[in-house]
Amino acid sequence: MSLLDDINHINNQAKERISNADSLDSLNEAKVKYLGRKGELTAVLKELKNLSVDEKKSVGAQANRCRQELEELIATAAGKFSTSKTDSSFDYTLPGTSSQIGVVHIINQVIDEIVNIFHGMGFEIARGPDIETDYYNFEALNFPPDHPARDMQDTMFVEGGRILRTHTTPVQVRKLEEQNPPIKIIVPGRTYRNEAISTRAHIAFHQVDGFLVDEGVSMADMKGVLVAFCKSFFGPDLKLKFRPSFFPFTEPSAEVDVSCFLCKGKGCQLCKYSGWLEILGCGMIDPNVLIKTGHDPEKYTGYAFGMGVERIAMLKYKINDIRHFFNNDIRFLRQFK
C-alpha cells in the first residue's frame, strides 16, 4: 500500500470517528489519535524522507489537505458540543446580576461637605505636599526651637531631614509667600502624628485648614464665619462655645467646642467627662507669620482655623471610635451611601 493510500485510509477513518463522537472528550481523543505529535497522519509524514522529490510533492500536498479537512471537521463538531452545553446549562430568561457599585468614603464625603460650605463663603481651595520641611511645618509658623511639637513623640521624620506634616497649616505659609492679600483659602488634606491609636486619636488623619488675610480683618469676622459654618454643617440648633487657647501661629487663639453627642453634655469617656467636644482651633494670625512671609503686619491682619475631619464626622454621625474610618469594614462603610 502506498503512502497516498495510507492517507486516504486515515482520512476516511478519522471522518467516521469524528462524526460518531458524542462528547468533547471523544472528539479530543480523535484529534490526538490522527493529528497529534504521535498521531497516524504524523507518522505517515515521517516517511516522506524516503520518497523521491516528485513523490514528496504529491504525498505532502495530499497530507496537508487531509489535515486541513480534519481540523475543520473537528472545529465544527466542537462548536456544536459547546453550544449544546451552554444552551442546556444557562437560562436566558433569568434576570441579570448587577455589579455592586462603590461609594465615596465617608471621610471624603465629610471633606467635600466642609469645603463646599467654605467655598460658598468665597474661600478658594488649595493643597500642599504631605512631606514637608521643618521651615514650613514649624519655623515659619512661629514654633520656637524647643516647642514640644518638634519632639519625636509627636512628629514623624523621614529621610533627608524632612517630616510628615503634622497639620495642613504649612500651606498657609506657602500661599502667603506666593500671593499678596487679600487671600482667602481653604486647605483639605491628610496629616500625621506619632501618637498612640485610640478611640479618639490616630497616627494618620485628615484636617481642613482655612485662613483669610486682608486689611482690617478682626476676631469678629472669624467668629462670624465659624459660627455660620458650624450651624450650616451641624444644624441651626447647635450649641457651641469659644474658649481661650494657645497656638504658636495665632494670637489671640481660641478653640471651638460643641456639646458631646454621646452623653448630651452630661460627661462620658468620649468627651473626657467634660460634656464638650473640641472641633476646631482658631485665632488671629500672629504678626511674626506675616513678617516671615513678607507682609506688613501694620497693614494686614488675618485669621486662621483648622479642624480634624474625623472628629467632625464622629460628631455628626454619632460614631464613638475613630478607628472605624480606617478598618475598611464594609458593613460600616455601607451605612454612608
pLDDT at position 80 is 75
CATH code of the domain covering residue 187: 3.30.930.10
Shared domain check, 266 and 171:
yes
- Domain presence at residue 171: yes
pLDDT at position 85 is 45
Tens-digit pLDDT profile for residues 252-274: 999 999 887 677 778 887 677 88
Shared domain check, 111 and 85:
no
Tens-digit pLDDT profile for residues 147-176: 776 775 588 888 888 999 999 999 999 999
- Domain presence at residue 96: no
Shared domain check, 285 and 149:
yes
Shared domain check, 135 and 78:
no
pLDDT at position 86 is 46
> Which residues contact residue 33 at a Cβ distance below 8 angstroms, ignoring those fewer than 6 apart?
14, 17, 39, 40
Show which of 56, 89, 122 is a domain's final residue: 89
- Domain presence at residue 15: yes
Report how far residue 100's alpha carbon sits from residue 29's, in angstroms, rounded to the nearest whole number: 43
Which pTM value belongs to this model?
A: 0.68
Bridge partners of 207, per DSSP, are 189, 308
- Domain presence at residue 95: no
Shared domain check, 171 and 47:
no
Which domain does 218 fall in, by range?
106-336
Q: 151 versus 189: which is more confidently predicted?
A: 189
Shared domain check, 156 and 16:
no
Shared domain check, 78 and 114:
no
pLDDT at position 333 is 87
Shared domain check, 10 and 143:
no
> Average pLDDT in the 203-218 region?
95
Percent of the chain with pLDDT over 90: 45
- Domain presence at residue 83: yes
Shared domain check, 127 and 62:
no
pLDDT at position 78 is 82
Shared domain check, 144 and 40:
no
Taking alpha carbons only, the member of 304, 121, 122, 299 closest to residue 215 is 299
pLDDT at position 84 is 45
150: left (phi over 0), alpha (psi -120 to 50) or beta: alpha
pLDDT at position 235 is 84
Q: How many CB atoms lie within 10 A of CB 85?
A: 12
Report how far residue 19's alpha carbon sits from residue 30's, in angstroms, rounded to the nearest whole number: 10
- Domain presence at residue 99: no
Tens-digit pLDDT profile for residues 89-113: 667 788 888 777 778 899 999 999 9
Round the average pLDDT of the chain to a whole number and report it.
Answer: 87
Shared domain check, 314 and 180:
yes
- Domain presence at residue 120: yes
Taking alpha carbons only, the member of 308, 332, 50 closest to residue 200 is 308
Q: What is the 3-state secondary structure (H, E, C) of the chain?
A: CCHHHHHHHHHHHHHHHHHHCCCHHHHHHHHHHHHCCCCHHHHHHHHHHHCCHHHHHHHHHHHHHHHHHHHHHHHHHHHHHHHHHHHHHCCCCCCCCCCCCCCCCHHHHHHHHHHHHHHHCCCEECCCCCEECHHHHCHHHCCCCCCHHHCCCCCEECHHHCEECCCCCHHHHHHHHHCCCCEEEEEEEEEECCCCCCCCCCCEEEEEEEEEEECCCCHHHHHHHHHHHHHHHHCCCCCEEEEEEEECCEEEEEEEEEECCCCCCCCCCCCCCCCEEEEEEEEEECHHHHHHCCCCCCCCEEEEEEEEHHHHHHHHHCCCCHHHHCCCCHHHHHHHC
Q: Based on the structure, what is the number of domains in the chain? A: 2
Shared domain check, 313 and 253:
yes
- Domain presence at residue 240: yes
First to last CA, the chain: 79
> Average pLDDT in the 292-308 region?
95
Show which of 60, 89, 118 is a domain's final residue: 89
Q: Are strands 240-247 and 204-214 parallel, antiparallel or unpaired?
A: unpaired
> Average pLDDT in the 68-84 region?
77
Task: State the pLDDT confidence band at 222, using cuts at 50, 70 and 90.
Answer: very high
